[in-house]
Amino acid sequence: HFDFDVESIRKDFPILSRKVNGYPLVYFDNAATSQTPQQVIDSIVDYYSRYNANIHRGVHSLSQEATDAYEQARIKIQKHFNAARSHEIIFTAGTTHAINLVANGFASLLQKGDEIIVSALEHHSNIVPWQMMCERTGALLKVIPMLENGTLDMQAFYNLLSDQTKLVFVNHVSNALGTVNPVEEIIEKTHEAGAAVLLDGAQAAPHIKADVQALDVDFYVASAHKMCGPTGVGVLYGKEEWLKKLPPYQGGGEMIETVSFEKTTYAGLPHKFEAGTPNICGGIAFGAAIDYMNSIGFEKIAAYEHELLEYATQKLLEIEDLRIYGLSEEKTAVISFNIGSIHPYDIGSIIDKLGIAVRTGHHCAQPVMDYYKIPGTVRASFSFYNTKEEIDVFVEAVKRAKNMLS
Ligand code: PMP
């Protein structure tokens, strides 16, 4: 066992001391959004209390302070993901926005008959933008099938790769099951086929510190709100050569060099992709969230969360008729399960009355549910501020719900 002072970490999160429906909150919906530590809340309050101003265009001091803080946050994100250049970090409104930005860009690079490859394990936000792009271009969308244990059928993937393949986009970690994909292998084989890779890191980023240069990945996307940051802000990392090739996604202020009715020219990176006044405060708070998580340390976070995962998995599997989906070896702290034929929504509603927050439903990953032929699951997802005591409370509540519903 290693030193992990969860009790003092919990004190950083004001929401964890509140009651819900008369019971102490047990927050196990971290895969949907994480909670926010005081340090991040303070960065938001500080911004609006002291230096709220528009960035990049003001000569006045407040504008300069806000610009500096925003650009410092970009550098924090750059360092965190080990990007080679700060202009390879594009602020977005989140993962969904980042994927749409890239899909829109590829629409002008692809032709009829080109192929792009997705996996059966994706969140809808890494499926639908590409389907829309295929409708515009005539490109073909191929799907890597999944296996019973929630992993990808890698042999089938190798068979899908061809000279026609232009882009492969898969998640680093599945939000529905928590399974970690073999991204190094995916990147290597895709590059051998001469295509690019986009990794959806929305679920990985809270648990795994991805090194985009070591991975040699072409695009990596994530959302701040799953990493102890605020909603409405996220990141697109793109290799410089790719970001230069892609056209802008949205037009407006900030993203131009010169504008006239005869001809407008675009700004360089990263501004080409950052039209309009951005989520300035959100970007700064994203930087504060990354600082906070790094101050705890991703290795410690991963080791502690793994203990929680093992503990909860073992306890839940003692419940008769309980089935966990996607029991692969490589998992982050997510447990997706059902009990017999009980509807997941009923379990979720009953345990909510006891102060426990879990997600129920298809988790925006309907193809995964279709694979298991189920309407949805109960998903409990843990973070480094959760405890074994909370898992005990949760398991007892699930048993109680089962008794009431059987
Ligand atoms: N991909 C995955 C794997 C996710 O878990 C999520 C969020 N549930 C998204 C994409 C979309 O992220 P956002 O809603 O923050 O844009």
List, in sequence order, every residue forming a beta bridge with 170; answer none if it has no partner: 199
List, in sequence order, every residue forming a beta bridge with 380; answer none if it has no partner: 335
Contact 389, 36 (CB under 8 A): no
User: Among 34, 172, 203, which is best to mutate for testing ligand 1, by the most ligand atoms less than 8 A from CB?
Assistant: 203
Reported ipTM exceeds the 0.95 cut: yes
Angle at 399 between CA 1 and CA 175, to 5 degrees: 60
* Contact 223 CB / ligand 1 (< 6 Å): yes
DSSP state of 341: T
Per-residue pLDDT of the chain (406 residues; tens, 9 = 90+): 568 999 999 999 999 999 999 999 999 999 999 999 999 999 999 999 999 999 988 889 999 999 999 999 999 999 999 999 999 999 999 999 999 999 999 999 999 999 999 999 999 999 999 999 999 999 999 999 999 999 999 999 999 999 999 999 999 999 999 999 999 999 999 999 999 999 999 999 999 999 999 999 999 999 999 999 999 999 999 999 999 999 999 999 989 999 999 999 999 999 999 999 999 999 999 999 999 999 999 999 999 999 999 999 999 999 999 999 999 999 999 999 999 999 999 999 999 999 999 999 999 999 999 999 999 999 999 999 999 999 999 999 999 999 999 9
Look up residue 99 and give its two tokens: 């994927």
What burial letters (b/e) apply to 212-229, b meaning 16+ CB within 10 Å? beebebbbbbbbbbbbbb
240/195 Cα distance (integer angstroms): 16
Reduced to 3 DSSP states, what percent helix, strand and coil does the chain have, rounded to the nearest 5? 45, 20, 40
* Contact 96 CB / ligand 1 (< 6 Å): yes
Domains of the chain: 6-30+297-405 (3.90.1150.10), 41-295 (3.40.640.10)
Q: Ligand 1 centroid to 345 CA: how many Å?
A: 21
Residue 145, burial from CB neighbour count under 10 angstroms (0-12, 13-18, 19+) = middle
* Contact 35 CB / ligand 1 (< 6 Å): no
Beta-carbon contacts of 347 under 8 Å, excluding residues fewer than 6 positions away, are 339, 360, 378, 398, 401, 402, 405
User: Among 29, 99, 175, 198, which is best to mutate for testing ligand 1, by the most ligand atoms less than 8 A from CB?
Assistant: 175
310/324 Cα distance (integer angstroms): 12
Q: Ligand 1 centroid to 202 CA: how many Å?
A: 5
Contact 24, 394 (CB under 8 A): no
Q: Ligand 1 centroid to 141 CA: how many Å?
A: 20
Q: Model-level pTM? A: 0.98
Nearest CA-CA partner of 52 in 66, 69, 31: 66
Q: Ligand 1 centroid to 73 CA: how many Å?
A: 21
311/28 Cα distance (integer angstroms): 14
Q: What is the four-CA torsion angle of 271, 272, 277, 280, rounded to 10 degrees?
A: -40
